[in-house]
Structure 1
């Protein structure tokens, strides 16, 4: 009897195509899907999700990525067989039939991203909370799940991850077959690092449940263990269960000695261990994870050679916002940060860095990852008049002894000077904020100091219906939430004249 005939659901399972109008990329495979043996599928060219809706939904959903070494999919014990168990807990369960990479490494991830988008799009229809959707995977499917959990875009971040004996790394202790299928026989160093997911963990990586066996001779246990340690290092809630025997690939099979233990532990974790934040705004969520981070000025000016510096353990007001934005945008933190910090994402000496916040905002709007909210909501404008850096070169290490850099900075200032920008005067900002200023918006405080545009930046945070600022404070020496409303902060400084408000937006195709 097939598994389909013995399951009772709110509705019968529904299989939906991931890309009804055709996928945006290809793995080079053609022909028909092949069933190598019962429930062993290869040559997937039409990826799908199969949705099992619970009779009494609790709002949670899990997208399952079966394993198979990135060459096939084991869709029974690492897929459909778990549906009754999850649905019995009130969880909507979705099995992802994803395309094999065939060395096109981006293909499986694009399918997982699309699955997450589809589930969120159908959340209301399926009685799912769009903020309670997890990704799960076994073996190579665990690599795919952890890849989504560390390379997500701004609209595809899972809320939790569940990994069964996962492939994690592409370094020495990887599963050779999975790596060959994903990256080819001779991958370049950048690909190896990108898909070694233990290297991609940040403080915003979703909370995790990991389970494996000590005697796994298929995928070295160090894969899951090192991923757990990376999560711990970044203060991401995680639990790890290691059983003494069982080998590899047991999934939901009754033959696994510790099936009762791992399923009970996971059921308890899903019931009591997963924490869903009431505030799902990524800028605010990530920004709050930096609270008490030490304030240090001029951390980007340590070397004469201009290069991308990443020091999130010490921040100033600008680098704090940059690091938070780079994480919130998802995918590659390093690539995001370079695109945020440098004009058109190109490092070409000190003047290529976006020193003036107005220039920084223009760059973000031009490339689609920032939205100028003030321009859409305030009729007040001012003309930029920038000259501070070129007229005070001794205040800047890279300008003090470089007439060429001073000249290039002056050219940048000249381009910006005279540009009209929208602002909100501080006497127009009530303590309670305004309806068009949202949690997580970036607040840039304008100034009357000659030659400058912005004096300080931070992140909007509403507390008890008053608008406060989450920011890196030089006076307090750390990242804090202002004790007083933002309006009071503005009144405390005569030279602070108002604010500009910008918001993280989602670039076309979720790419910077």
Structure 2
């Protein structure tokens, strides 16, 4: 199913992916969709190798009460916007995961974005290009999209009632890697400027890698993400460049981290290594290690009744202390 087929099946028109979302943990009474959506790049994204390549959506659970959809090919990276109900000037770039093989839509995107919007934070869900698709410089296309997204948000702050200084980033699993990559390599040149938006700063005000893939060290990397991003046998300097724990500097923004100890997909050592690197660089950082939660717990039924379910509230309290909410 491609994006157009998904829209037709849902019986709506327009550029958005309609989804049912949860308010709290109860099923939604009807479909929820973003308030707006816009592409990251004018025309095709840079470095497209195959003009026949198209967006593609996989519906993994068709139940509209508990949807599970993912994009496993992305030709047109974009931001879907959930406007804050009562804007406080803060914004978050929300980066879903998917092992760099896909970008999930519901659990780590459309589920959390309304939660942020209800608390005054305008949320921008990023659908970023995947390194396994036909792009030049594939290992850097996710970062190029994340940098471009931050710059576009800041370029359009008047439109969204956002303070350009208070734009953070949050990512999950492989999206957590991209969030940490953005937090450490925000100034790296990975694409040529295309318009005035690219004069903006790509550094997040705060960053929140959640159960993140971090290292490219094969001893405790998530090997699926590693292989797709940098190949099976990368040169040591390429592996180091894409290991955020090795790219932390004094300019890295404050970071909020959380991970479950029973995560059998992405070893908790990823978060521990990143936290240690942040502390060594004297970057403000807070880490929460939950006993239970597994991998990909997002904010939903998997953690209902467990401490890990409270991580968004912990993040909000931490972010308030660092000035995100003004």
Above 0.5 in TM-score?
yes
- Displacement, 1:246? 1.2
- Name the counterpart of 2:20: 2
Aligned to 2:193: none
For the residue of structure 1 that corresponds to 2:302, the secondary structure is coil
Distance 1:28 1:167, change over 3 A: farther
Compare CA radii of gyration and give the structure with the larger one. 1
1:226 aligns to what?
273
Report 1 or 2 for greater relative contact order, CA contacts < 8 Å, sequence distance ≥ 6.
Answer: 2
Residue equivalent to 1:24: 46
Instruction: Give the conservation status (yes or no) of the 8 Å contact 1:26–1:107.
Output: no
Q: Distance in 1 between matches of 2:58 and 2:52?
A: 16
Determine whether 1:268 maps to 2:317.
yes
TM superposition shift of 1:245: 1.2
After superposition, what is the alpha-carbon deviation per residue over 1:389-435, rounded to whole angstroms, capped at 9, x for unaligned? xxxxxxxxxxxxxxxxxxxxxxxxxxxxxxxxxxxxxxxxxxxxxxx
CA distance in 2, matches of 1:214, 1:168: 16
| TM-score, length of structure 1 as denominator length | 0.51
Q: Which residue of 2 aligns with 1:439?
A: none
Residue 155 of structure 1: SS of its match in structure 2?
coil
Gaps of 5+ in 1: 279-512
- Pick from 115, 130, 133: which aligns with 1:100? 130
When residues 122 and 6 of structure 1 are mapped into structure 2, their CA distance, relative to the original with a 3 A threshold, is: farther
What does residue 208 of structure 1 align with?
255
CA distance in 2 between partners of 1:268 and 1:98 (Å): 28
Q: Name which of 202, 219, 232 aligns with 1:185.
A: 232
Distance 1:106 1:260 in 2: 33
Asked whether the equivalents of residues 299 and 309 of structure 2 are also in contact (C-alpha less than 8 Å), the reply is no
**Which region of structure 1 is more displaced relative to structure 2, 226-235 or 248-257?**
248-257
SS state at 1:105 partner: helix
Deviation track 1:262-310 (CA, whole Å, cap 9, x = no partner) reads 1221121122x2246x9xxxxxxxxxxxxxxxxxxxxxxxxxxxxxxxx
- In the other structure, the counterpart of 1:294 is none
Distance 2:30 2:153 in 1: 21
* Per-residue deviation, residues 56-86 of structure 1 (Å, max 9, x unmatched): 1111100111100000011111101112210
- What does residue 173 of structure 2 align with? 139
Secondary structure class of the residue paired with 2:106: coil
1:155 match: 201
Candidates 112, 115, 128, aligned match of 1:85: 115
Aligned-pair CA distance for 1:22:
2.1
| Residue in 1 that maps onto 2:8 | none
Give the TM-score of the pair, scaled to structure 2.
0.79
Going from structure 1 to structure 2, the CA distance change for 1:45 and 1:8 (only over 3 Å counts) comes to closer
Q: CA deviation at 1:13?
A: 1.4
State the partner residue of 2:150. Answer: 116
Is 2:107 the counterpart of 1:44?
A: no
Counterpart of 2:274 in 1: which secondary structure? helix
Distance 1:15 1:202 in 2: 33
Q: Which consecutive residues of structure 2, in runs of 5 or more, have no partner in the other structure?
A: 1-18, 23-27, 61-68, 188-199
Taking the aligned partners of 2:154 and 2:30, their CA distance within structure 1 comes to: 24
Cα distance in 1, alignment partners of residues 120 and 100 from structure 2: 30
Check if 1:34 corresponds to 2:56. Answer: yes
Instruction: Report the counterpart of residue 285 of structure 2 in structure 1.
Output: 238
